[in-house]
């Protein structure tokens, strides 16, 4: 299991160049040195050397992070920033009361039970896909889908007229919330479970509605299948859509989405759709799971900035591909007090299910 002491060399690679400050959404918003990796590494270096205690104050700054990975992408030293922060959080939880509370929340009797409950009550609403088809897809049902299966149903509805077979399996959470909150044992547990289900399936590929689930699944070291997001799947299959009226749309790129070209390809395959790219289309929506609770005012301020950029292109619909980002965008609308006459906010699968397939 990762522990902060394993990363002392990696932390030392930080040259304090400050390039991460130019891309970190929280540093740009607050100007606080401890909000960004450069400042956090100064603190964590002190912890590794034994000069500082991994205490409540340092934990506060560990939690002040969106885990968006923007700093890692730009870091000339190539530091895997989020992995180090998760390890530090894990070390902190091991030695504090809060850790035992988190352990209880993520245990089988709460987190898994909570999801199972929603899965059972939603099962009767599931739309079954056709069989006897050419390509077999294994649908990775993330936690958000278990609570609200709208995206899964939209995806299956789109495919119901085409030659694909969509299978389900008894997946657990992809692990993102556990890694982010430092509960690495639980992250390992779900990774092993999901890897076993995927590797034993004879599907052609795994598809998911959530950029964070895809990001997490791709980090499973021993997976033997390709993982595609919905949008990548539609782009690869070159499926064409026809909407019965004109819509002006914009797209919020989730931090964990890597393949933005697939979005542009799918939208260019949509008849009657005008796509307008907003400024800062790839900036974080501010939601970031637990961060929206632990740092609510920062989260809300980032969501508001984001939605203002989206609204500036005057769209009928704002699209994205992550259930948490949808919450972030809605949080932004509420903060702007633009609840009426606001554009719709949709996952791209729900949006595409409004169209006919062009054959």
Binding site for ligand SF4 (CB under 6 A): 14-20, 23-26, 36-38, 41, 65-71, 75-77, 79, 81-82
Closest CA to 289 of 107, 82, 66, 116: 66
User: b/e string for 194-216 if b means 16 or more Cβ within 10 A?
Assistant: bbeebeeeebbbbbbbbbbbbbb
Min dist CB 265 to ligand SF4, Å, is: 27
Is the Cβ of residue 149 or residue 332 nearer to ligand SF4 in the bound state?
Answer: 332
- CA 296, distance to chain mean position in Å, is 18
- Of the candidates 104, 127, 101, the one whose C-alpha atom is nearest the C-alpha of residue 114 is 104
- Are 93 and 121 in contact by the 8 Å Cβ rule? The answer is no
In 3D, which of 56, 3, 13, 5 has the Cα closest to residue 37? 13
CB of 74 to ligand SF4, least distance (A): 6
Rounded Cα distance between 320 and 5, Å, is 38
Rounded to whole angstroms, what are the CA distances from 351 to 50, 267, 304, 354? 53, 11, 23, 6
- Closer residue to ligand SF4 in complex, CB, 16/337: 16
Strand 270-275, strand 317-320: pairing: unpaired
> Smallest distance, Å, CB 334 to ligand SF4?
22
Q: Which is nearer to ligand SF4, 79 or 311 (CB)?
A: 79
- Shortest Cβ 73–ligand SF4 spacing (Å): 9
Question: Between residues 89 and 156, which has the closer beta carbon with respect to ligand SF4?
Answer: 89
Q: How far is the CB of 301 from ligand SF4 (least distance, A)?
A: 13
Considering beta carbons, is residue 286 or 315 the nearer one to ligand SF4?
286
Nearer to ligand SF4, 70 or 146 (CB): 70
Minimum CB–partner distance for residue 135 and ligand SF4 (Å): 36
Burial of 349 (0-12, 13-18, 19+ CB in 10 A): buried
Strand duo 270-275 + 240-251: pairing: parallel
Q: How far is the CB of 323 from ligand SF4 (least distance, A)?
A: 20
Q: Based on CB atoms, which residue is closest to ligand SF4, 41 or 178?
A: 41
Give the contacts of 110 (CB within 8 A, at least 6 positions apart): 104
- Gap between the Cα atoms of 250 and 244, Å rounded: 18
């Amino acid at each position: 299991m990762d522990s902060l002491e394993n990363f002392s060399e990696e932390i030392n690679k930080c040259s304090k160049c400050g390039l991460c400050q130019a891309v970190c959404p929280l540093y740009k918003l607050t100007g606080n040195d401890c909000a960004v990796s450069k400042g956090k590494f100064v603190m964590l270096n002190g912890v590794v050397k034994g000069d500082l205690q991994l205490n409540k104050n340092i934990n506060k700054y560990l939690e002040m992070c969106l885990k968006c990975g923007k700093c890692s992408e730009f870091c000339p030293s190539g530091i895997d920033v989020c992995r180090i922060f998760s390890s530090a959080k894990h070390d902190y939880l091991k030695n504090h009361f809060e850790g035992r509370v988190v352990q209880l929340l993520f245990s089988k009797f709460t987190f898994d039970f909570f999801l199972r409950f929603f899965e059972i009550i939603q099962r009767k609403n599931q739309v079954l896909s056709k069989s006897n088809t050419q390509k077999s897809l294994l649908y990775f049902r993330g936690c958000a889908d278990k609570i609200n299966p709208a995206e899964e149903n939209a995806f299956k509805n789109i495919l119901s007229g085409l030659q694909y077979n969509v299978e389900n399996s008894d997946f657990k959470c992809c692990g993102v919330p556990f890694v982010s909150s430092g509960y690495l044992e639980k992250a390992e547990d779900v990774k092993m479970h999901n890897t076993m289900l995927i590797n034993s399936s004879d599907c052609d590929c795994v598809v998911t509605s959530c950029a964070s689930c895809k990001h997490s699944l791709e980090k499973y070291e021993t997976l033997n299948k390709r993982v595609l997001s919905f949008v990548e799947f539609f782009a690869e299959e070159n499926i064409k859509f026809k909407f019965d009226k004109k819509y002006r749309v914009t797209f919020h790129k989730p931090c964990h989405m890597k393949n933005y070209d697939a979005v542009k390809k799918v939208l260019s395959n949509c008849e009657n759709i005008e796509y307008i790219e907003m400024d800062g289309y790839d900036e974080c929506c501010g939601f970031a799971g637990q961060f929206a609770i632990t740092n609510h005012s920062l989260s809300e301020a980032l969501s508001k900035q984001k939605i203002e950029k989206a609204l500036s292109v005057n769209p009928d619909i704002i699209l994205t591909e992550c259930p948490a980002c949808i919450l972030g965008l809605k949080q932004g609308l509420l903060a702007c007090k633009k609840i009426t006459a606001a554009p719709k906010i949709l996952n791209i699968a729900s949006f595409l299910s409004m169209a006919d397939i062009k054959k």
